[in-house]
Structure 1
Amino acid sequence: MKVERIYLFFYGISLICARVNAFDPITTTVAVGIGATLGTIYKYFQEKCSSKWIAFNATGLDVDLEKRLFGQHIATRIISKAVNGFVNNDKPKKPLVLSLHGWTGTGKNFVSKMIAENLYKEGMHSSFVHVFTSELHFPHASQIETYKSQLQQWIKGNVTNCAQSMFIFDEMDKMQPGLIDSIKPYLDYYDRLDGVSYQKAIFIFLSNAGGEKITETALDFWKAGKNREEIKLCDLENALSLSVFNNKKSGLWRTCLIDKNLVDFFVPFLPLEYKHVVQCVLAEMEARDLEPDKGIANQVARDLIYFPKSERVFSATGCKTIISKLDYYY
């Protein structure tokens, strides 16, 4: 049961008690006692920064990556090893910093959700998971100094509250240049800053920047008749980090986070092929408790736009639009 539901339940009872209070002093005394008891119970169910609410499920993450993330053999391997190694290290030297890159619909947000679901009991609804979206939270270039100060205070306050906090920065390719550098000290090799340790926190950057380089490499392998599973991290990581670092449209443009090697892994998400889209549709059917129907899955996959236009190798939107398309066919 979610904390919000418990709260509403208790709140409803408290309203009833408040109405009963109007009748007589004896009932008032009973209601006050009930209220105190309910308050104690509510505090018990509140999410806390403890092993009851934060417990890493390594097997769960591996199963999710293998069975729910399609066409991403590089990302699957990196995420599994990086998160496992970090969470199981009692004394990490610095926070875990992952930068996920690739076109829309390839699984970047999905992976962030998987990590949260297998680390926090409340998953993405946990009060220890914080999501920033560039266009929503940092829209105005003229306010960048204010954003820097607010971001520093927000991270410091939340890590002070719980050392095992997670921060997800979506739309990094739309972030104001220079803004992310304001949190550089929190990602560095410091035991403590102003009495606060950031070493157990996780920072995840999501970006479309670098997508062209990733697609170019995947297309080269395809044209050479090679299997996409032959693509290795070493074929992409260095070129990807340089591409992001030198891209003026990237929130990581000329950032000291890259210059000082504070990003632990640049994780490439490959463009998805037709067969991967079909797998996504079948997985969505299963999630809805629907009978898997390959005919409908193929219809949904055929509806999408593929590129290059003549070869139709990769889906332009990955698996992002399959939910609405599946609704149409059902």
Structure 2
Amino acid sequence: MARTQHSLLGSWLSVGILLGLLLSAALALEPISTAFSIATALTGYLSSPPFLCSHLMECCEENAYDSTAFQENLEKNLFGQHLARDIIFRAITGFMNTENPKKPLALSLHGWTGIGKTFTSKLIAENIHKKGMKSKYVHHFISTKHFPHGKLIDLYKDQIQLWISGNVTSCSRSIFIFDEMDKLQQGLIDTIKPFLDYYEQIDGVSYRKAIFIFLSNAGGEVINRVLLGSGKRREDLELHDLESALSVELFNNKNSGFWHSSLIDKNLIDFYVPFLPLEFKHVKECVMAELRHRKLMPDEQLAFRVASEMTYFPKDTRMFSDRGCKTVTAKLNLYL
């Protein structure tokens, strides 16, 4: 907060100095009309969206998305997820480059814990809004925190609809992230159906440029079963190998948050994105990434030792990490 205030103070001081110099020059030439013109022009600049958005407040930017930067972020930081990386990049890029989309983008991210779902939603937010998850245009709902009580489901439905309509009115590029979908009260998610449908407007507001992201551990067992039973290398798996099985599992699983949901029944989810379980080599990559994040030298031996501390399944082959990279930071602390 102090750094932000210091930056703003510096911006205003610079503007004040510039204003003083210009007014001094103007008064030397022609005291009244010239000074008034310059003051009017500067007032217009200081109150203009570019200045306000860069110095004083966050503004909703329609075209801030950089596909090249997003692709680089995914390739550099999302390990072992060739399917998710490709699907999400093409889905986000295609949507953001469409001037008048027919409906909001709805992505449902599935897989076990610690394999990149939350991290990916963070990358999406950062590449659309400069402040990322801290942006006032990114809204993160956690089922166990925001919607914990089954008896209050009607209240939650009203709140969700008000939140979405109010925020999209403020910014058409709003992002809504529903986390822990597998713990969401049954039937609650159907309250957002009107906002995900193909309506041009609802009460005078268009929701077609908004993005909805659902995060869930549900479907993880289906993904693992397909991966182990397909006979394919993980790199050879394609979306059609998993998407149909995922949607059926979610629709029929009472613990999925999408149980008998109209969002699935009416085909309003655009992509069911499978996140594959991570292997030993991917956990090592996570350790190396954490070392870089801490500005420490890469250490292959240390990465090997930390990755070896994790637990893996199936028991006979120990092929996949059962916690992904979730406890890498804590494990690494033991060696530093």
- The TM-score with structure 2 as length reference comes to 0.85
Aligned to 2:333: 327
The letter of the residue matching 1:246 is: N
- The TM-score with structure 1 as length reference comes to 0.86
Q: CA deviation at 1:5?
A: 4.4
- Separation of aligned partners in 2, 1:6 and 1:74: 39
Q: Does 1:277 align with 2:283?
A: yes
Q: Is the CA contact (8 Å cut-off) linking 2:278 and 2:324 kept in structure 1?
A: yes
Give runs of aligned pairs for residues 1-330 of structure 1, distance below 5 A: 5-7=3-5, 44-51=55-62, 55-221=64-230, 224=231, 226-330=232-336
Question: Secondary structure at the residue paired with 1:194?
Answer: coil
Question: Secondary structure at the residue paired with 2:284?
Answer: helix
- Separation of aligned partners in 1, 2:5 and 2:144: 32
Q: Is the CA contact (8 Å cut-off) linking 1:6 and 1:42 kept in structure 2?
A: no
Q: Is the CA contact (8 Å cut-off) linking 1:7 and 1:42 kept in structure 2?
A: no
Q: Percent identical across equivalent pairs?
A: 57
Gaps of 5+ in 1: 12-36
- Separation of aligned partners in 2, 1:10 and 1:86: 34
Gaps of 5+ in 2: 10-42
Structure 1 stretches of 4+ with a deviation exceeding 2 A read 4-11, 39-44
Q: CA deviation at 1:306?
A: 0.5
Root mean square deviation, CA, Å? 1.9
Question: Secondary structure at the residue paired with 2:223?
Answer: helix
Aligned pair count? 297
- Separation of aligned partners in 2, 1:10 and 1:267: 41
Question: Secondary structure at the residue paired with 2:222?
Answer: helix
Question: Secondary structure at the residue paired with 1:97?
Answer: strand
Q: Is the CA contact (8 Å cut-off) linking 2:112 and 2:217 kept in structure 1?
A: yes
- Separation of aligned partners in 2, 1:8 and 1:207: 41
Aligned to 2:20: none
Question: Secondary structure at the residue paired with 2:128?
Answer: coil
Q: CA deviation at 1:6?
A: 2.9
The letter of the residue matching 1:268 is: P
Q: Is the CA contact (8 Å cut-off) linking 1:144 and 1:179 kept in structure 2?
A: yes
